[in-house]
Amino acid sequence: MLLLLAWLLPASGVVQAQTDSELEFPWEKTIGIVRVFSDFDLATLNGLQSDIEELQDDLINYLGVPRPQEEIHLFLFSNSEGYLRYIHKRWPGAPLDRPALYVKDRGPGSLMIRKDNQILLNVRHEMTHAILNASLMHVPIWLDEGLAKYFEVPRGKRGFENPFLSTVRQNTTFLFFSRAPSLERLEHLSQVQQMGEREYRESWAWVHFLIHYSQETHYLLAEYLASLRPEYQSKLTAEQVADLQKSSPLTARLKEQFPDYKKIYVAHFKNWEKK
């Protein structure tokens, strides 16, 4: 299970970062808004370019997320030793017990991932976080993670090949478990430490429902994401944002347009199958 792998530098900027030129990477490639640096030959990682291109396209054109106005830097490492050494040298004090790390200070966001048999899944998952955080402000934890879990699966397989799907279908098929999870409960989560497997699964399921149930629910999700654009929230304090999200959560919009949205959620997964 992947957790949110983000670490934000202190606003004071006390931590001194070395420049990338001091820490050379022999392989470099630009893919849209993403600048990739690697200590191994990128030609050996089949699917990296198409995955990053498709992810950018889907978030920007399919869900209406604004195109980031700055680059995202992706650093790939062939082994744990290089990954840990780079983080320790460039960002002293950053957590070292994670398979990936996303750092966002005042400049471009930097995403570090070490190579293993899940590297492309990790790239898709963490790149979703990076694009959302570079484009929007104050994305609720459940939605940030739900979208990352949804988009970590390759394009064309997202609707049917996420491991969560079988459990979610069981919970909406069996008589005594035929109910929708509480979206209100997820909306009250404020820290990633509150996210366990259940929370990840339920967050993914609500995103799946919103994207796939109908054009109306898809548009509702895109409309909610649009409300998180910087031009709408940049002048608000953290307290004002929290109040806004409490007064106008996604649940409120769902209830207004779909008063029986919990029943519709159950029906969606009961009837969800490849055409």
CB atoms within 10 A of CB 84: 15
Q: Which residues contact 57 (CB under 8 A, 6 or more apart)?
A: none
Helix axes 197-212, 261-270, angle to 10 degrees: 90
- For every one of its 275 residues, what pLDDT tens digit does the chain have, with 9 covering 90 and above? 333 344 443 332 323 344 444 457 999 999 999 999 999 999 999 999 999 999 999 999 999 999 988 899 999 999 999 999 999 888 888 888 888 888 877 778 899 999 999 999 999 999 999 999 899 888 999 999 999 999 999 999 999 999 999 999 988 877 565 789 999 999 999 888 899 999 999 999 999 999 999 999 999 999 999 988 887 666 666 666 666 665 568 999 999 999 999 999 999 999 998 75
- The answer to whether 206 and 268 are in contact (CB under 8 A) is no
Buried b (16+ CB within 10 A) or exposed e, 163-189: ebbeebeebbeeeeeeebbebeebbeb
Which residues, in sequence order, are bridge partners of residue 113? 76, 100
- The answer to whether 200 and 145 are in contact (CB under 8 A) is yes
Residues in the chain: 275
| The pLDDT value given to residue 246 | 59
| The pLDDT value given to residue 108 | 82
Query: pTM here?
Result: 0.86
Could you identify the residue written with the tokens 């009961």? 270
In the β-sheet with 100-103, what is the strand arrangement from edge to edge? 6-7, 100-103, 109-114, 72-77, 34-38, 27-31
